Structure 1
Amino acid sequence: MQIDQGEGSAATVTRIMSGAYDAGFGDINAIIQNVLETPETAPLMVYQIYNQPPFSVLTKSDGPVQELSDLEGLRVGGPAGSAATRLFPALAASAGVDVSEVEIVNVATNIQEQMLIRANIEASLVFNVTSYLNLVGLGLDPETEFNWFNYGDNGVDIYSNGVMVSRELAKEHPEAVRGLVRAINRAMKEVIADPAMGAATVKEVEPLIDEELEELRIDFAIENLIISDETETVGLGGVDEERLARSIETIKEAYELDGSLEPSIVFSSDFLPPLDDRTAN
C-alpha cells in the first residue's frame, strides 16, 4: 500500500476520479458536486470522519461582531471559491443576515487571521481546525480573544471530510475497502482515547511538526468536528440519511447545481464495522 500526503480535501476527489488513487481523505460535499455531473467516476464516501463542518466566522472578542447579525455593514474576509465563502449565503439566510449588506473581501488563506487582527476586516470565513492553531502559533488565545460562529451550530447542517474510495474499488474489491475502513475505525478510537499518542504518531511521520500544537489540533477536531450528539446514535463513520439528504440540497443551492441525488449515491454504510465497534470513549 502506498500512502501520499494530500493537497486539500477537494483535490482528493479529482485524484480518485482520475484513477491516480484508489482512496483518500476528502470532502463529501465535493463528491456531491461531482456525482451530479459524472456519477460513474465520482468517489464514494465510506467512513464519515467530520460529523460537523469545519467552517466558522471568526471575529475578535472585543470587536464589533458579537453575534452574526452584527455582520451587516461590515467587511468579511474569505478566500475566493473556498467552501466557507461559497456557503456563507446559506449561513446568512439561516441567521437572518442580509447578505447584500455584507462586504465580502477576497483574502488569501495564509493571511486571514492577520487581516482580522490588524482590523483590515471585521470577520473572517475560516477553516476552523486550521485557524485555531494559526492563532495559537501567533501567541494568541483563540478561546478568550476570539469569537467562533460555527456554521454547523448556526443552521448549515452539512457533513464534511471522511474516507472515500473509487467506485471501481468498492465494486471489485469490497473486502479491501472493509479492511481499510476497519483499520481507520480502530485508529480513530485509539486517537480519540489518547490524542497525545496521535500527535506523537504524526511526529514520527512528519518530524518538523510541533507535537504540542498537533495535539491541540487533534483535541479541537475531536471536540468540534468528530464527536457530536449524532455520533452517539450513528457511531463513528456513520451518517444520518435524512440529514445527508438535507445537506445535498444545501450544497446544490450553494453551488447552483441541478439534478436529483439519493444519499446512497454519495455515502455507503456497507463497509462499516458493526455499530458497537464504532463507539467512541
Structure 2
Amino acid sequence: FKDEKLDVAVDAGNGSAAAIARVASGAYDIASADMAALMEFYGNNPDTPNKPVAVMMIYSNTPAAVMMLKKSGIRKPTDLAGKNLGAPIFDGGRKAWPIFAQANRIGPVTWTSMDPPLRETMLVRGDVDAITGYAFTSLLNLESRGVKAQDVTVMAYKDYGVKQYGNAVIVSPQFLDRHPEAVKGFLRAFARGVKELMANPKAAIETVKARDGIINPALEERRLAMVLDMAVLTADARAEGFGAVDEARLRLMASQLSDTYKTKVRVDAAKLWNASFLPSAEERDIFKSLKKK
C-alpha cells in the first residue's frame, strides 16, 4: 500500500454482514465480505443508499461444505436425506443448503441450531449427523477436539454443483466516485500482496502475528494452505483469472440466491459488481507464483 502512496488502516472484522453495514454507513471505505451476504443485503435493502460494490473477487469458490464423521456411514450427498444437520442459523452453508440439496437431489433434512463454538463439539458428541460451515475452519476445530482429518468426510459445495463465489473486496460507491485511482492502487497492492503471500507463507503469517500476538503460526500456516486450495487456487480461478468473475455465473448465483433467500426484490448482479477498477490480467496472475516453485 505504501508503494501505491496509500495510507491504509486495517481493522478486524466481525463477519460479512457487519462489514457490509460498516461500508454502507460510511464508517469504512473498503472491506472484505462474502458475495452471498452482499447479494442478500441488496435484495433486502433495495432503497438503502450507498450500497457497497464488489470490485475484486478473492474467493473464486465458496469454501462452504457439509462435513460428517466417516463412522456415520454417510458417503454421498443423497445419504444425507432424513439426517439431522447442525449449524448456526446465519451460517452461509446452511442458508445455501437448498441449492446444494437441489443440485444433488437430496430429500428433506432436519436442522439443529447452535452458537458457532458448539458446532463441531455437537458433531463429535453425536448430537447431529453432519454440519455445514467453512471447511478450513471446521476441520481445524474438529482436530482440536481430537478428530483426525482422515476421519472426516468433506463434501465441498464447489465439488457438488454449487458454483457460488465467496469473499470479495467491497467498496463504498462514494469512495469509488471520489477516489477511483486510490481504489485501483489498492487493488494493485492487494494482488501483489497475494503473490508475495504465496511466495513466502511463513513471512505472511509472521506479519499477522505482529498484529495479533496470540495466534498459533503453525496452525495459521495450515489454515492458509487450506484457504488457498479450497477457495483461491481453484479451477474456476484459473479459468476466470484471479480477481475477476464470469458474469453468467454471477447472474446465476444472484438468481439462485434470490429464490433461496426469498429476498424482497430479485438481486441484479450487474448493480453490485464493477470490474473496471481491476489491475491488468498480468498483475493479477497469481498462478505464476506456482509455476516458479
Structure 1 CA distance, aligned partners of 2:35 and 2:202? 28
Q: Render the CA deviation track for 1:202-246: whole Å, top value 9, x for unaligned.
A: 111111100000000100000001111122232211111111011
Aligned twin of 1:151: 157
For 1:128, which of 117, 130, 135 is the aligned residue? Answer: 135
Mean CA deviation greater in 60-69 or 191-200: 191-200
Q: Render the CA deviation track for 1:93-123: whole Å, top value 9, x for unaligned.
A: 1111012xx1111122111111111111110
Q: Render the CA deviation track for 1:111-168: whole Å, top value 9, x for unaligned.
A: 11111111111101112221122123334322x1101111121122111112110010
1:160-171 aligned at under 5 Å gives the runs 160-171=166-177
1:103-118 aligned at under 5 Å gives the runs 103-118=110-125
1:249-268 aligned at under 5 Å gives the runs 249-268=255-274
Aligned twin of 1:88: 97
Report the AA paired with residue 272 of structure 1: L
What is the CA RMSD across the aligned residues, in angstroms?
Answer: 1.5
For 2:87, which of 78, 102, 109 is the aligned residue? Answer: 78
Q: What secondary structure, in the 3-state scheme, does the structure 1 residue paired with 2:279 have?
A: coil
Task: Give unpaired runs (5+ residues) of structure 2.
Answer: 1-7
Q: Render the CA deviation track for 1:2-46: whole Å, top value 9, x for unaligned.
A: 221100122100111111111111112222122231464210111
Aligned twin of 1:201: 207
From the superposition, tell whether residues 213 and 38 of structure 1 become closer, same or farther in structure 2 (CA, over 3 Å).
farther
TM-score by length of 2: 0.90
Mean CA deviation greater in 16-25 or 258-267: 258-267
Aligned twin of 2:16: 9
For 2:40, which of 7, 16, 33 is the aligned residue? Answer: 33
Q: What secondary structure, in the 3-state scheme, does the structure 2 residue paired with 1:73 have?
A: coil
Structure 1 CA distance, aligned partners of 2:205 and 2:148? 21
Does the 8 Å CA contact 1:53/1:152 hold for their aligned counterparts? yes
Q: What secondary structure, in the 3-state scheme, does the structure 1 residue paired with 2:111 have?
A: strand
Distance apart, 1:260 and its partner CA: 4.7
Mean CA deviation greater in 128-137 or 50-59: 128-137
Are 1:231 and 2:237 counterparts? yes
Aligned twin of 2:63: 54
Does the 8 Å CA contact 1:17/1:43 hold for their aligned counterparts? yes
Q: What secondary structure, in the 3-state scheme, does the structure 2 residue paired with 1:29 have?
A: helix
Task: Give unpaired runs (5+ residues) of structure 1.
Answer: none
Does the 8 Å CA contact 1:43/1:167 hold for their aligned counterparts? yes
From the superposition, tell whether residues 38 and 82 of structure 1 become closer, same or farther in structure 2 (CA, over 3 Å).
farther
Distance apart, 1:258 and its partner CA: 4.8
Aligned twin of 2:5: none
Aligned twin of 2:248: 242
From the superposition, tell whether residues 81 and 165 of structure 1 become closer, same or farther in structure 2 (CA, over 3 Å).
same
Structure 2 CA distance, aligned partners of 1:40 and 1:108? 32
Distance apart, 1:197 and its partner CA: 2.0
Does the 8 Å CA contact 2:61/2:236 hold for their aligned counterparts? no
Are 1:42 and 2:48 counterparts? no
Structure 1 CA distance, aligned partners of 2:48 and 2:194? 29
Structure 2 CA distance, aligned partners of 1:198 and 1:140? 28
Structure 1 CA distance, aligned partners of 2:240 and 2:111? 37
Does the 8 Å CA contact 2:92/2:133 hold for their aligned counterparts? no
Report the AA paired with residue 13 of structure 1: I
From the superposition, tell whether residues 35 and 108 of structure 1 become closer, same or farther in structure 2 (CA, over 3 Å).
same
Structure 2 CA distance, aligned partners of 1:140 and 1:260? 42
Percent sequence identity is: 29
